[in-house]
Amino acid sequence: MLQNEPKIQHFTLHKNLQYALLDLEEFALCFGLKEKRAIEKRAALYVVKHILKDERADIFYEESGRPYLDNGMKISVSHSYNWLAVIVSASIEVGIDIEKVRDKILKIKEKFLSEEELNELKGASPEKYTLYWCAKEVLYKASGVSGLIFAQQLLIEPFAFSNTGGKIKAVVKLPASEKKHTLHYEVLNDYVLVYTFE
């Protein structure tokens, strides 16, 4: 047991659904790690072991890079700058994304937003644009379908943005069907966190 273990912010949403946040800088310092990818992978495993209370737990990765657990539980992982976010569910599909709010998002808005969404966001803050990006990342992860086009198939319904967080309604449009999702979001200083469980 390390004397100064990195602090995990752990939240239980339901009995079999939990998510956690970890400061990657603190984690890297604690374990003497310098390589970004190694920090992210080790940190995700550290959090999963904590959530599951199982030191033998391991994270595996599909060819697409999507993480999975060999015990059948569902998992989603995200990292941005100093923060790592992990969500774990006993049975339902999950998705999580955390992003640092930066003006850079405005330069790529046409790549991930539909025309209706671009109109909806006219004059919006970088936080709201980042929230749309996060929401679409979460939809993509939770759908488990690769190759979806963000601007055409992952669509966010208009909502009133709140700095205290809230819910977003969204739709994943597949060739033969549409699936509605409810996403939950939080604004954490200069980061946006979005997650879903369906």
Domain boundary among 92, 113, 139: 92
Q: Would you list the DSSP string of 31-71? A: HT---HHHHHHHHHHHHHHHHHT-TT--EEE-TTS-EEETT
Mean per-residue pLDDT for 70-91?
Answer: 94
Asked whether residue 85 falls in the same domain as residue 119, the answer is no
Domain boundary among 92, 117, 141: 92
pTM of the model: 0.93
148: containing domain? 99-197
Asked whether residue 87 falls in the same domain as residue 110, the answer is no
Q: Which pairing describes strands 94-100 and 178-188: parallel, antiparallel, or unpaired?
A: unpaired
SS3 for 137-187 is HHHHHHHCCCCCCHHHHEEECCCCCCCCCEEEEEEEECCCCEEEEEEEEEE
Q: Which pairing describes strands 74-80 and 94-100: parallel, antiparallel, or unpaired?
A: unpaired
DSSP reduced 3-state for 78: strand
Instruction: Say yes or no to pLDDT of 86 above 90.
Output: yes
- In the chain, % of residues over pLDDT 90: 82
| pLDDT of 198 | 73
Asked whether residue 76 falls in the same domain as residue 110, the answer is no
Number of domains in the chain: 2
Q: Does a structural domain hold residue 2? A: no
- Segment 22-48, tens digit of pLDDT: 999 999 999 999 999 999 999 999 999
Confidence of residue 1 (pLDDT cuts 50, 70, 90): very low
Q: Does a structural domain hold residue 118? A: yes
| pLDDT of 3 | 54
- Segment 145-195, tens digit of pLDDT: 889 999 999 999 999 999 999 999 999 999 889 999 999 999 998 999 999
Mean per-residue pLDDT for 50-79?
Answer: 92
- In the chain, % of residues over pLDDT 70: 98
Domain with 75 in it: what CATH number?
3.90.470.20
